[in-house]
Structure 1
Amino acid sequence: MTSSPVDAPAPSGVDHPPARGRLVRRLAEAGRMLVVSLACLVVGACLALILFLAAWDTYGESLPGRVGLALVIDVGVGAVANLAAGPMRRAGLWNLLLVVPGALSGSALPAAAVGLARVGVRRDRRLDVIGLSLAAATGLIFNGIDRWAQGRWSSTFVFDILLSLVFAGAALLWGRVRGTRAILITSLRSQAATARREREALEREHEALAREHRALVAQAESEQRAAIARDMHDSLSHHLSLIAMHAGALSYRADMPPEQMRDVSATILADARAANSELRHVLSALRTDDAEPLPTGAQIGEQIERARSEGQDVRLEWVGTDPHDVDAAGSALVVTLSRAVRELLTNARKHAPGQPLELRIAHETGMLRLTSRNTVPEEVRTAASELGSGLGLTGLRERVRLLGGTMRAEAAVAASGADTDDDHSPAEHPRDAPAFEVELSLPWPDHRSRDEDDA
């Protein structure tokens, strides 16, 4: 026997509700049984009244004894069957027994309909055939008893059997509809639960990706802090070695002329002030073993030439300053500038291959400003945006911020005819072409003004 979807027991892994909840469920179940029984009793009483009125209309006060006995049996059997309809709610296939009283009682039709509907919930064709056969047999027996009570045979015998089959088919169809609805609701609930679990898993995955991205950003910032500390270590070592050398000379040369002594003291003072100025930029230090020599202003030009030799179209313009002035401004400034140029060259080569890159380094009112612009073709814009995670610019922004500067990186629109020279035709700068601009500003250290303030 197959189990009904509405009568299936709860899975063993499901936690049982507390005692109070079980009591409430039992009371609700008893209430539903009572309602079913009362409804069947009311409908059965109405059918019994109809049968009695039909017999009264036919025979009047001279009611034959057989007809009266059949009516009494009809009412008794129907009452018992209708009362049993409620408690047999969880009886499964035993609900087919509710069809049997229909052989003796017309008022038992409500109980028979309920039983057939419960069997139809299982949506089993073999059970449907059994239900129809049982209904036809009970209809045949009831028709025979009725004809025996009236004492004559009826020509509507075949019609009565067909009517019994139609009644049973309607009840089974009603049960099938209920079973289909229950299965559909169960399926929809299962799909909703699956979708909810998938959505929660997707949210957890997004949270994990966000945490990973934040960790990568933090790592890039930490690496830049460590790089600054490493660079400052190399620079300070140079200044401190000069201070130690000149101070040692002063301690051993007591016969040094006053003018030469003043020169040595001024040198020591200048180196100490330069070291103190660069030390202010150090927030944390973690030196690695694979440290590279500190870059210089001349190496910025070497980076440009190396990029050109590799086929990259790069233009560099110095305005108001030159590599020697940048070297004299301090190692912190030239190191950051060199790192920025290297990152901009890498980004242009990765995200805009074959496109011209314009770099401009200008000294403006106490600030050193580096600007970069490169166009991004439409056919490679989407693919190029997926090549990197932006950690290089994140680290560069952190370095600039720690040195007291600002940085801006955003998409722009490149206008034709602007900032072009004879070596580059307007075709290389199409109007309204998508472009990427980076601008960073670093404070230009004024050693002379600090010396005057200290004096």
Structure 2
Amino acid sequence: MTTRTAAPEERDPNRLTRWGTTWRVAAALLIGGVLWLLTTAVVFPEADSDPALLPGLWLVVVDPILGLVALGLLLLRRRWPVRIAVATTALTAVSAAAVGPQTVVLASLATRQRWREIIPVGVLTTAGGLVLTRFFYPDPEPLPLLFEAGFSILATGIVVAVGYSIGSRRALVRSWVDRARTAEAEQRARVEQAQSTERTRIAREMHDVLAHRISLVTMHSGVLAYRDDLPEAERRDAVAAIDSNARAALTDLREVLGVLRDPEGHGSLRPQSTLTDLPELVDGATSAGTRVTVETGGLDAAAVPETISRTAYRVAQEGLTNARKHAPGATVEITLAGRPGGELHIGVRNPRTVGVAPDVPTSGLGLLGLAERVELSGGRMQHGWVGEDEHRLRVWLPWPP
């Protein structure tokens, strides 16, 4: 599976590139420079004019220095947004060159979309502009105070609106990125769940198939170990059964491991057995010495839907395997009944054995896996001893019409 690597901007929509920082600094210098030149035209209306010493000296020397200080503070606005905004706004009250950096800082503050920060700084910005034009660099022919205040409020509002819209766009992009990350995480979770489900299915198949084969091998080998008086023909049959079942077990195991080792996950298990294969299953159990009777009640195994037919086959297989393990020599009865639109009933029962059960390794997961398989099929299962003499395994599976 190919995993897409997100770009840096996608990982963090608020992250600035070098170009983003460069054009902001350039915009601050441009705005500050233009306002400084306009202020110079007000202080020095004519080339040969001789303004007051303090305003002229302040404008030519101190004002640009304060503008550079504000420009330096501009670079720190993301670390301390409110503090930097207040500091640069205070500088605009005494420096025309600082207005450029303060404009960028105010827009940056507005991108946070927090009116409790924007409104106080906006009021300070308006007040700072009036102080600068009315007291530090007064115009010989000033405009009305209300006009200047209105113009300052309008300019501040435009800057705040631009910053707020940028913040809205960033929030939108951030929501898109979060959705993309969530979708990718959900996709990874679905893939992992699918892999886990497939491995569980393979493990279930391994148990169902191998447990049946190994139980047959154990049964035949037990007969050879405890029966010294077997006729030669029966001994050969037992050895042949051990050989065939061992080879079949190795083949099944090789198929299962082939699926597990498939790096692309394209491998699949061979078609699973259904109720149409029940006679073969019964013949194998009978050859191992287990007496098996099957009562189908006229049920046509080929008419049973494949999904529930596979589950029903596993029920019969698990019942026979457990009977051989825990009740050797007992007669196993398998019953089948059902109809379309109702339920398919599978029952496996056997009496308690009077002999000694062979020491066969068990996983303890057979009935647990079978219960899970039945539940996934929408059915229900019961198993256990009825009284002290008979063990029953009963399963009901829904049979669609």
So what's the TM-score if we normalise by structure 2?
0.51
Q: How does 1:243-282 map to 2 (within 5 A)?
A: 243=231, 272-273=232-233, 275-282=235-242
Corresponding residue of 2:206: 218
Per the alignment, do residues 190 and 179 of structure 1 end up closer, same or farther by CA in structure 2, a change over 3 Å counting? same
Could you report, residue by residue, the CA deviation over 1:249-278 in whole angstroms, capped at 9, with x for unpaired residues?
xxxxxxxxxxxxxxxxxxxxxxx3454245
Cα distance in 2 for partners of 1:351, 1:218 equals: 31
In structure 2, the residue matched to 1:136 is 126
How has the CA–CA distance of structure 1 residues 384 and 144 changed in structure 2, closer, same or farther, with 3 Å as cutoff?
A: closer
Contact 1:73 1:104 in 2 (8 A): no
Matched, 1:161 2:169: no
Counterpart in the other structure of 1:253: none
SS in 1 for 2:204: helix
Distance, in Å, in 2 between the alignment partners of 1:166 and 1:131 is: 14
State the secondary structure of the residue aligned to 2:242.
coil
The aligned counterpart of 2:113 is 123
Q: What's the CA shift for 1:132?
A: 2.2
TM-score, structure 1 normalization: 0.46
- Looking at CA atoms only, which structure, 1 or 2, has the larger radius of gyration? 1
Residue equivalent to 2:69:
84
Map 1:20-419 → 2, pairs under 5 A:
36-37=24-25, 39-52=27-40, 60-61=46-47, 63=49, 65-66=51-52, 70=55, 73-88=58-73, 89-90=75-76, 92=80, 93-145=83-135, 148-150=138-140, 152-154=141-143, 156-186=144-174, 188-229=176-217, 232=220, 241=229, 243=231, 272-273=232-233, 275-283=235-243, 294=289, 300=293, 303-304=294-295, 307-308=296-297, 313-314=298-299, 346=336, 349=338, 353=342, 386-387=377-378
Distance 2:88 2:24 in 1: 13
Deviations 1:417-436 (A, max 9, x none): xxxxxxxxxxxxxxxxx99x
Question: What is the number of equivalent residue pairs in this alignment?
Answer: 270
- Structure 2: segments with no counterpart, 5+ residues: 1-14, 250-284, 302-319, 325-331, 345-373, 381-399
SS in 2 for 1:141: helix
> What's the CA shift for 1:111?
2.0
Taking only aligned residues, the RMSD between alpha carbons, in angstroms, comes to 5.0
Contact 1:99–1:138 (CA<8 Å) still a contact in 2? yes
CA gap 1:139/1:49 in 2 versus in 1, 3 angstroms: closer
Q: For 2:229, what is the secondary structure of its paired residue?
A: helix
2:197 alignment partner, SS class: helix
Cα 1:234–1:53 change in 2 (3 A) is: closer
Residue aligned with 1:162, SS? helix
Distance in 1, Cα, partners of 2:92 & 2:375:
80
Q: Distance in 1 between matches of 2:96 and 2:235?
A: 112
In 2, Cα distance between the equivalents of 1:41 and 1:107? 8
Residues 106 and 350 (structure 1), Cα distance of their counterparts in 2 relative to 1, 3 Å cut: farther
Q: Match for 1:63: what amino acid?
A: S
Distance 1:315 1:186, change over 3 A: closer
Offset of residue 113 of structure 1: 0.5
2:289 aligned counterpart, secondary structure: coil
Contact 2:111–2:167 (CA under 8 A) maintained in structure 1: yes
Question: Deviation at 1:99?
Answer: 2.0
Superposed displacement of residue 295, structure 1: 5.3
Change (3 A) 1:94 1:230: closer
Q: 2 CA distance for matches of 1:181 and 1:106?
A: 31
Distance in 1, Cα, partners of 2:138 & 2:228: 129
2:377 maps to amino acid: E
Residue identity in the other structure for 1:47: L
Contact kept, 8 Å, 1:85 with 1:115, in 2: the verdict is no
Aligned-pair CA distance for 1:198: 4.2
- Do the aligned residues in 1 keep the contact of 2:91 with 2:98 (CA within 8 Å)? yes
Q: Measured at CA, do residues 136 and 231 of structure 1 come closer, stay the same or move farther in structure 2, by a change above 3 Å? A: closer
Please give the alpha-carbon distance, in whole angstroms, between the structure 2 residues aligned to 1:350 and 1:90: 78
Identity of aligned residues (%): 18
Aligned partner letter, 2:66: A
Q: Residues of 2 paired with 1:117 and 1:186: CA distance?
A: 19
